[in-house]
C-alpha cells in the first residue's frame, strides 16, 4: 500500500442464498469496474471470520492516493456503481461505508 494515505472501506453483509453469485460478480466484474474508474490505487478483498450471528460478511478496502481522488469517485462514479449492486442483489447485499486515514504502515519480515 505504498503511497496510500486514505482507505475507502466497504463492509457488505450477504444473504447466504446469493453469496456464490455475489462473489463471482465481485471478482469478475465489480472490482475491475472500481479500478477502471482511475480513482483507486488498489484494493484488498476479505471475508470476515467469526460472523455466525451476522451471516457471510466481506470487506473491501480501496486504496486512495488522496482525498481529491475520493471526492471524484463519490461525485462521478459512486451513484452508478451503487445502483448496479442494488439492481443485481437488492437487500440481499447490504453495505456500510467508511473512510480511514492511514497513520502508519509496515511489515515484519524474517521474524
Q: Which CA distances in Å does 89 have to 12, 25, 26, 99, 102?
A: 12, 10, 12, 24, 31
Domain assignment present for 34: yes
Domain assignment present for 41: yes
What is the pTM for the complete model shown? 0.88
For the chain, how many structural domains are there in total?
A: 1
* H or E stretch at 86: helix 78-89
Domain assignment present for 108: no
> Tell me, what DSSP letter sits at residue 28?
I
CATH number at residue 49: 3.30.70.100
* H or E stretch at 12: strand 6-14
Q: Give pLDDT tens digits for 14-61.
A: 999 999 999 999 999 999 999 999 999 999 999 999 766 778 999 999
Domain assignment present for 22: yes
Residue 94 structural domain:
6-101
> Tell me, what DSSP letter sits at residue 18?
G
For residue 1, pLDDT beyond 60: no
Grid-cell match 449492486, residue found: 85
What's the confidence (pLDDT) of residue 26?
98
Grid-cell match 480501496, residue found: 62
CA proximity to 8, closest of 33, 44, 38, 36: 44
Domain assignment present for 38: yes
Q: Give pLDDT tens digits for 54-108.
A: 789 999 999 999 999 999 999 999 999 999 999 999 999 999 999 999 888 877 7
What's the confidence (pLDDT) of residue 100?
94
Domain assignment present for 84: yes
CA proximity to 4, closest of 70, 72, 98: 70
Domain assignment present for 110: no
Amino acid at each position: 500500500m505504498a503511497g496510500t494515505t486514505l482507505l475507502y472501506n466497504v463492509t457488505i453483509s450477504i444473504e447466504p442464498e446469493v453469496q456464490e453469485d455475489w462473489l463471482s460478480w465481485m471478482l469478475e466484474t465489480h472490482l475491475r469496474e472500481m479500478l477502471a474508474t482511475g480513482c483507486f490505487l488498489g484494493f484488498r478483498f476479505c471475508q470476515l471470520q467469526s460472523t455466525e450471528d451476522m451471516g457471510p460478511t466481506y470487506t473491501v478496502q480501496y486504496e486512495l492516493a488522496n482525498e481529491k481522488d475520493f471526492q471524484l469517485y463519490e461525485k462521478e462514479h459512486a451513484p452508478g456503481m451503487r445502483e448496479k449492486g442494488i439492481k443485481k442483489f437488492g437487500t440481499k447485499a447490504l453495505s456500510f461505508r467508511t473512510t480511514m486515514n492511514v497513520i502508519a504502515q509496515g511489515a515484519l519480515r524474517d521474524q
